[in-house]
Copies of this chain bind each other. A is one copy, B any other.
Amino acid sequence: MTGFVDVHDMARWVRSRGIGPVLRGLMDAIEADFQRWQGFERTPRIASHTPFGVIELMPTSDGETYGFKYVNGHPSNPARGFQTVTAFGVLADVHNGYPTFLAEMTLLTALRTAATSAMVAGHLARPDSTTMAMIGTGSQAEFQAMAFRERLGIRSLRVWDTDPDAIAKFARNLLPRGFELHVAASGADAAEGADIITTCTADKAQARVLESVDVAPGTHVNAIGGDCPGKTELDPEILIRGRVFVEHEPQTRIEGELQQMPEDFVPVEFWRVLAGDTSGRSAADEVTVFDSVGFAIEDFSALRYLRDDVTGTDFAQRIDLVAEPDDPKDLFGFIGAYSPVV
């Protein structure tokens, strides 16, 4: 039988464990896997693009466990009452190829994306950071805020979105949790005085939601909304001024802010910072940029963390996904012999 965590159980699990502890657990799991980055299979995701959006498969393996995520990205979905991003993921045993664990990942992706951003910022942002600007307050925004508070103690937020309802939703969710909120009048206004700037907008276009002139020296830019071909958020000048860190360069070149840069523009793969191959931030006035598009290893880490935490608890069901005839060569007899339990 295959373990299964559905949406209802995922929400129960997060509420029961607490979103803070879950985010911390995910940060530790993701950081540990970034530390052994070179031990993973790393392939750019396999994308199916249409005018509506994109559907992607993101596989990876560490040689013992295989994992993949199914995820879509449909920018016009919210206007039609659907999620922009939905996802589910699977783990399998490499030794026999059997899928062992299936989980919803719409919620889990929101959590792992925020955990990755905050873990990376923990190494790149100035340690005395207190204020974060957030340009874009959609589905991902509260998760980012919670994760940055867990990792860097950020409590002061300067937020902006073109959709006032999205800002109202953000405030409704986070004010009760003790955040100090400044609703800005524009992206530039949000960025003013921020130590960290998170850009997370949904428009599938080459946009400029943040101009270089609005990025003060010493800022860490957490750019997560530019995550598919044709979709960027930053004034390219920011990338030239700053040191740019990415997950997996070949994928970021296709999907991230790197799309705007020439071939010979060389970013730093972030795992190298953890490996001690290169420094993170090198000066208090340096601009650092995390050009994040999300990578399969982060989903792998999140799925394993979830699986290890829920196995044997009532947060996981068991489903009958793999046929297991007594004689493995007798699949045909299995159909006939299978007794309906009804």
Given the complex, which residues of B lie within 8 Å of A198, measured CB to CB? none
- Given contact pairs A50-B61, A52-B94, A81-B328, enumerate 6 new A-B contacts (beta carbons under 8 Å): A7-B338, A46-B59, A55-B61, A57-B57, A84-B328, A173-B330
**With the chains together, A334 CA to B12 CA distance in Å?**
11
CB-nearest residue of chain B relative to A52?
B95
Give 28 CB contacts A-B under 8 Å. A6-B319, A7-B322, A7-B324, A8-B340, A14-B335, A46-B46, A53-B96, A54-B97, A55-B59, A55-B61, A55-B66, A55-B97, A57-B59, A68-B70, A70-B90, A70-B92, A72-B96, A82-B328, A83-B331, A88-B99, A106-B322, A106-B323, A106-B331, A139-B329, A141-B332, A143-B331, A165-B329, A169-B330
Which of B66, B166, B322, B338 meets A329, CB within 8 Å? Answer: B166
Given the complex, which residues of B lie within 8 Å of A68, measured CB to CB? 57, 70
Contact between B41 and A328 (Cβ–Cβ < 8 Å)? no
Given the complex, which residues of B lie within 8 Å of A70, measured CB to CB? 68, 90, 92, 99
Contact between B74 and A320 (Cβ–Cβ < 8 Å)? no
Q: Flag A290-311 by CB within 8 Å of B: 1 or 0 each.
A: 0000000000000000000000
CB-nearest residue of chain B relative to A323?
B106
CB-nearest residue of chain B relative to A202?
B329
CB-nearest residue of chain B relative to A319?
B6
**With the chains together, A96 CA to B90 CA distance in Å?**
21
Please report whether the interface of chain A is mostly helix, strand, loop or mixed according to DSSP: mixed
Q: Which of A42-93 contact B (CB under 8 A)?
A: 43, 46, 48, 50, 52-55, 57, 59, 61, 63, 66, 68, 70, 72-74, 77-78, 80-84, 86, 88, 90, 92
Contact between A328 and B48 (Cβ–Cβ < 8 Å)? no
CB-nearest residue of chain B relative to A174?
B332
Q: A86-B97, A329-B139 are in contact. Are A6 and B104 (CB under 8 A)?
A: no
Q: A48-B66, A330-B139, A332-B139 are in contact. Are A323 and B94 (CB under 8 A)?
A: no
Q: A48-B59, A83-B323 are in contact. Are A138 and B329 (CB under 8 A)?
A: yes
Contact between B8 and A173 (Cβ–Cβ < 8 Å)? no
Given the complex, which residues of B lie within 8 Å of A10, measured CB to CB? 323
Contact between A86 and B7 (Cβ–Cβ < 8 Å)? no
Q: What's the minimum C-beta distance from A58 to chain B, rounded to whole angstroms? A: 10
Would you call A107 an interface residue if the criterion is a C-beta within 8 Å of the partner chain's C-beta atoms?
yes
Q: Which of A111-165 contact B (CB under 8 A)?
A: 138-143, 163, 165
CB-nearest residue of chain B relative to A103?
B321
**With the chains together, A173 CA to B281 CA distance in Å?**
68
